[in-house]
């Protein structure tokens, strides 16, 4: 985190939109490839080639030593999965998290994909995670406090029996990958003082687990995070710009799930 909240001026909003719209376009490009039989490394290569061929930069490549151009997290992996030779199988759920740098501006989003026919448990987890993201977006307005996001997601998810991951959160974004404010997905004391004012750009990216909220980082690679009980985890993420009229979702895709989608 940069240590201070950034308020972008209206003339900068278009730069945020352009970066985020490219990122959404990349997500749509990936859709037809994310299916049983493909390896996560092959998906990573598609992300890399598409981004670079358009003159842009994959933000995760080399970020704090991360070795790949996207994060791909399967089943019990919560986040920061490193693409490798692992092949997607029928019944998996897989989160693809992509961030692009376009002319010095960042766009960031993730989706959880259902690979073929998945269990009812997996489908419901993905649905609740998706719905929790849009409940949070719809709950905020100019001057809302960050804690309102955490309250909405936490109350909705825990009532349905899901664990809300606490170790990882959303964040301010724009000219930098991560800035203040942090956006926890559960109510954190102090986050009621962080107000979402017009010109602020940030991500909301709830991670919900089928069991405990607790997670474990893989010490062998320093990145991969799994649920502590090895139960399933799902995540959705959008980049949001707060305007005078309310939150504008910058990373909406044309071909992906829209608000209200049923998996």
Q: Is 254 a member of any domain?
A: no
In this model, does residue 1 exceed pLDDT 50? Answer: no
Peptide bond into 210 cis (omega under 30): no
- Looking up residue 107, the CATH number of its domain turns out to be 3.90.230.10
Is 218 marked within a binding site? no
Strands 201-204 and 105-114 turn out to be unpaired
Q: Is 2 a member of any domain?
A: no
DSSP states along 127-159: HHHHHHHHHHHHH--TTEEHHHHHHHHHHHHHH
Distance of CA 231 to the CA centre of its chain: 19
Mapping DSSP to helix (H, G, I), strand (E, B) and coil, where does residue 170 land? strand
State which residues form the domain around 96.
10-249
Cα angle value 146/150/152 (rounded, 5°): 110
Distance CA(33)–CA(52), nearest Å, equals 18
* pLDDT (mean) for 231-251: 98
**For a pLDDT cut of 90, what percent of the chain falls above it?**
98
- Total domains, the chain: 1
Is 108 marked within a binding site? yes
Q: Is 5 a member of any domain?
A: no
For 148-202, the pLDDT digits (tens) are 999 999 999 999 999 999 999 999 999 999 999 999 999 999 999 999 999 999 9
Q: Is 259 a member of any domain?
A: no
In this model, does residue 2 exceed pLDDT 50? Answer: no
For CA atoms 194, 198, 201, 206, give the dihedral sign.
Answer: positive
Is 29 marked within a binding site? no
Q: Is 16 a member of any domain?
A: yes
Q: Is 3 a member of any domain?
A: no
pLDDT of residue 125: 98
Q: How far is CA 239 from CA 63, 210, 212, 222, in A?
A: 19, 25, 27, 26
Mapping DSSP to helix (H, G, I), strand (E, B) and coil, where does residue 59 land? coil
pLDDT of residue 5: 82
pTM (2 decimals)? Answer: 0.97
For 71-80, the pLDDT digits (tens) are 999 999 999 9
Question: 31-46: string of b/e by CB count within 10 Å (b at 16+)?
Answer: eeebeeeeebbebbeb
Is 178 marked within a binding site? yes
pLDDT of residue 3: 52
For 17-55, the pLDDT digits (tens) are 999 999 999 999 999 999 999 999 999 999 999 999 999
Q: Is 234 a member of any domain?
A: yes
Backbone angles phi, psi at 153, to 5 degrees: -65, -45
Q: Is 1 a member of any domain?
A: no
Is 42 marked within a binding site? no
120 CB-near residues (< 8 Å, 6+ apart): none
């Amino acid at each position: 985190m940069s240590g201070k909240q950034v308020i972008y001026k209206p003339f900068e909003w278009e730069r945020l939109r352009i970066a985020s719209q490219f990122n959404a376009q990349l997500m749509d490009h990936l859709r037809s490839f994310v299916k049983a039989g493909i390896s996560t490394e092959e998906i990573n290569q598609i992300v890399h080639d598409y981004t670079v061929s358009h003159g842009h930069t994959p933000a995760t490549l080399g970020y704090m030593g991360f070795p790949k151009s996207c994060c791909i997290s399967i089943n019990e992996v919560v986040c920061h999965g490193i693409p490798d030779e692992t092949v997607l199988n029928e019944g998996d759920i897989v989160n693809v998290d992509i961030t692009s740098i376009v002319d010095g501006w960042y766009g960031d989003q993730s989706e959880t994909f259902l690979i073929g026919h998945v269990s009812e448990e997996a489908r419901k987890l993905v649905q609740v995670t998706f719905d929790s993201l849009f409940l949070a977006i719809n709950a905020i307005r100019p001057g809302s406090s960050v804690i309102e996001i955490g309250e909405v997601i936490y109350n909705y998810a825990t009532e349905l029996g899901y664990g809300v991951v606490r170790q990882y959160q959303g964040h301010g974004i724009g000219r930098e990958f991560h800035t203040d404010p942090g956006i926890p997905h559960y109510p954190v004391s102090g986050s009621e003082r962080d107000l979402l004012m017009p010109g602020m750009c940030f991500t909301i990216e709830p991670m919900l687990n089928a069991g405990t909220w607790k997670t474990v980082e893989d010490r062998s690679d320093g990145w991969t995070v799994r649920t502590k009980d090895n139960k399933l985890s799902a995540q959705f993420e959008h980049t949001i710009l707060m305007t005078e009229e309310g939150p504008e979702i910058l990373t909406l895709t044309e071909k992906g799930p829209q608000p209200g989608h049923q998996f």
